Every structure is written in C-alpha cells, then in structure tokens.
Amino acid sequence: MTGAKNQPNRKHDESTAKLFAAFANSFDFDRRLFAADVRVSLVYCDALFHAGILTRLESERVKNGLQTILKRADFYADYFDEPTATDVHSFVEIRLVQLIGEAGAKLNIGISRHDQTAAAFRLWLREEVVEISKRTRDLQAALVDAGERHKEAVLPAYVNSQKSQPVLWTHWCLAYFEMFARDRERLDEVWRRVNVLPLGAASAVEIDREEIARALGFEGVAANSLDAAADADFAVESVGACALLMIHLSRLAEDLIAYNSAEFGFIVFGENSIENSNSLSSKKDSEVLQLIRGKAGRIFGHQSALFSTLKSLPLGVHKDLQESMSAVFDSVDTVKSCLSIISIIVESLRVNETKTLAVINDCSNAAELTDYLAQRNVPLKIAGEVVDEIVSYAFAQKKKLLELNLEEFQKFSGSIGADVYHALSLEQTLASKDQIGGTAPVRVFEALEQARESLEREGGGEK
C-alpha cells in the first residue's frame, strides 16, 4: 500500500500536458513575425543551396512553397488558426511541409529555431524602428507648422509652476521639436545595434553568413555565438528609446491639456482634430491626450520587466527571452499609435492669441527690471533687493510695473531712467534674449526655418 501511495497520479497527465504546452506557447504574439520569418527562410534556403545541402530542385520547391504560404496568409483570414503551432517558425515549417513534403523540413538544417526567430525578430524590429522615427518626424513637422501658423503669438514660460517671462509660441513648439530630434537620434543608434544578424553563428554547415546578412539588409553579423544566442540588449534599448519618447509625448500631452483648459484657454482644438473625427466622435481631444499620458506607464513597466528578466541570466539560450518579444511588441504598438494621435491634434490646434496676450500683460516684469539695473552697474544682489521692494510697492498700489510713473521708480533707485519703459516692454523683453537659442523673434524665426529645412533635407525620413 505504501508503494501504491507513492506512485505518481497519472489521471490528469493529458490536461497537465496541455496546460504546460499552452503556457510555453508564444505563437499568439510572435505570429506577427510571420512575414519576417519567411523572408529569413527564403534567404537561408539560398545559403543551403550554395552550401550543397539542398539541390537546385529542392531549393526551388522550398522557395516557391514559402512564397505560396506568404500569399495564402494574406488571402485567408483564418490561415493562422490551423494547424496548432508553438511559435511562428514551427508554423512556417508545418505549413511548408504540408505544401511541399519533407523537403520543407530540410530548411532547419544548420540552425536552431531560436536562431531563426531571433533573426526574424531583429528584421521586424529594424523596420518598426524606422516607422517610429518616421512618425516622430511627422510630429516634428506638425510642430513646425503649428509654430508657423502663429508666429507672432506669445505665451508665458513657467518657473516653478508660476508665470514667468514671455516667449513666442513658436519657441515653445521648437522646444518639443528638439526633444523629438533627440529621440530620433536615439532610434538611429538603436537601429544600428538591432541591424546585426545572429543567424548561423553556431552552425556546423558551411554557410556564408555575411552573404545572408547582405541579402537581408543587415549591416553585419554577430561575432560570438554565445552572445548571439543570449543577446537581448537591442530589445532593452528599443523599449528604452520608446520609454523616453513616451516621456516627451506625455509632457506635450500635459501641456496641451492644460493650455486647452478653461483656466488657461491658450489653445483650441481644430475642426480636423480627434474630437471631430468620426472614428472617435465620443472622445474629446483632452481625454485622448490623458490616455497618451497614462500609456507612458505601460512602457516604463515593460522596461523594468526586461531589466528584471535579464539581470541574472547566464550565457546561452533561455526561454525567459521569449518574454522580451511581447514587451517590445506592445511598446512599439503603443508608441506608434500615440505618435499618430498627437500629430493629428497638433496639426489642427489654434492659439487663442487674445487670451495669451492678456495673460502676458498680466505677468510681472521683475526679471527684466533686475537685468535693467544690473546693466547699469547696480550689483546684482542690490538690484534684486530693489526690485523686490518695487514689486511689493506696485502690488500694494494695485499696479503693474509698467503702470508706475518714473518718479515712483526713482524713489527706489536713481539708476532708473525713462528708458525703463522700453526695457520692460513685451517687444524688448523678447528681443533682448538674442543669443542662439534665445527668445528674440529673429532667433526664433531662424530656428524655425532651420527646423523646416532639416526635415526637408531628410526627404521623408526614410532610411
């Protein structure tokens, strides 16, 4: 009896096997690599032919079969429902063998399924990085256009969430243009590290890896088979670039939400915006922008999960790496949709110049007055103290600084002359910041033209 009790219970072996198989299955999410996997297989088929593994007839049959299943996948909506596959490459193999017989199974000679999927993943991701960069460029173009539409509009900059010095609306648009330019530089760097072929590094077959890389558009081949199998740095970097891009999108969304609010009223959303589109007629632009702000957290979560997964993996092939794909897939999808949505909103918004000017006229000119005194050789510390006294006096008199008469100014400092009114004017406040990157209209409009020219030189931002 004791021995019987110690026998394993096989009653649920079949259901347990199904549970384990479903848990390890990646086809639900890696099926999007189907076209990339077929492309890799087509090139690898040629490599096997040149290595003498496949005959010319076998090679032609395999390539024709691969082209056929690629076309059928586009034609039949349920093509991926059958047969049951554990991952995208096993699906391609099953479909190919169904179509051309056992010759299809020869396609796996010399490489592992992990090798094949890693190459397809990099091929897919390489093109997605280009698409993300293109959509980011579209947003930059929308920001340039928005700046062009309201070149004379002004709005307050903020210091510690308090209204500060005036800036041109165009200057504000170009600030985000610069953020997204850095994002695109990061994407370029990620693209270069993604674009390395891992396939065949551990193969015993005499294949020409460099020729495979050239045929697939990879810039080089992985130099070490262990590293090629274990590398997920490119996935982490891709999600990291998406995370920083989402931070910038979230900040832009927050500004637009605030500026459109009743409390600010700086901008209004246009006729072609999300609020007025048929597909999202129930959603207001501000609500969609809130979703963009919230979706940033998803990407941060993916980045954190990838770090946690990879930090203790030894060299080699590990099933853990399968999870990196789903994190990248969702990050790419999220960023692409957010970029497209926010570009539509920026393209159609308008600035309420009457409201922004009224707010500017209500701003303090304390910083400009301090600069004015400092330029007249008043020590900066003393200048700051004098300005504090003048601001307090003006507040008590319920006046703005420009509403004080010269006699009132001079009670606090004899260094103040009649030219103080020019120095504190909106025009001079803007024009005085005449350094490269400053708020002077001439500098801002130069920067606007340079931004537009930089986009035009790219010719659409294609790789």
Residue indicated by tokens 């390890």: 24
The answer as to whether 376 is a domain residue is yes
Q: Coil, strand, or helix at residue 12?
A: coil
At 193 the three-state DSSP class reads helix
Confidence at residue 79, expressed as pLDDT on a 0 to 100 scale: 82
Q: Supply the pLDDT for residue 58.
A: 93
Residue 117 lies in domain: 113-352
DSSP character string of 363-410:
S--HHHHHHHHHTTT--HHHHHHHHHHHHHHHHHTT--GGGS-HHHHH
Pairing of strands 350-351, 267-268: antiparallel
- Distance separating alpha carbons of residues 420 and 432, to the nearest angstrom: 13
- 167 and 269 both lie in a single domain: yes
CATH number of domain containing 259: 1.20.200.10
What does the alpha-carbon distance between residue 12 and residue 14 come to, in Å, rounded to a whole number? 6
Q: How many domains does the chain have?
A: 3
SS3 428: helix
If asked whether residues 205 and 101 sit together in one domain, one would say no
pTM for the whole structure: 0.87
Please report, for the domain that includes residue 103, its CATH number: 1.10.275.10
The closest of 144, 138, 214, 217 to 175, measured between CA atoms, is 144
Least Cα distance to 272 among 260, 280, 264, 262 occurs for 280
Same domain, 174 and 306: yes
Where a domain ends, among 51, 80, 108?
Answer: 108
Kindly report the CATH number assigned to the domain that includes residue 388.
Answer: 1.10.40.30
Q: Which helix (H) or strand (E) covers residue 282, if one does?
A: none
Residue 237 belongs to a domain:
yes
pLDDT averaged per 10 residues in sequence order, the chain, 463 residues: 54 61 60 91 95 94 95 86 78 90 88 88 96 97 96 85 84 97 97 94 89 95 89 92 97 94 88 51 75 93 87 74 84 96 94 88 76 87 88 84 84 85 82 83 92 86 45
pLDDT at 417: 85
The bridge status of strand 162-168 relative to strand 196-197 is unpaired
Phi and psi (nearest 5°) for 381?
-65, -45
Domain annotation covers residue 279: yes
| Same domain flag for 210 and 87 | no
Is 81 within a domain?
yes
What confidence score (pLDDT) does residue 8 get? 57
Q: Tell whether 7 is covered by a domain.
A: no
Residue 332: in which H helix or E strand, if any?
helix 322-348
Residues 302 and 248 in one domain: yes
Q: Which of 89, 108, 127 is the last residue of a domain?
A: 108
- Shared-domain flag, residues 84 and 147: no
Give pLDDT, residue 273.
Answer: 56
Instruction: Classify residue 14: in a domain, yes or no.
Output: no
State pLDDT tens for residues 7-64.
555 556 766 656 555 555 565 767 889 999 999 999 999 999 999 999 999 999 999 9
Residue type, 317: V
195 and 284 together in one domain: yes
Instruction: Please check whether residue 256 lies inside any domain of the structure.
Output: yes
Whether residues 275 and 130 share a domain: the answer is: yes
Residue 292 lies in a domain: yes
In terms of domains, do 382 and 302 share one? no
pLDDT digits (tens, 9 = 90+) for 76-103: 888 888 767 778 888 888 899 999 998 8
* Three-class DSSP category at 299: helix
- pLDDT of 12 reads 61
Domain identity same for 100 and 209: no
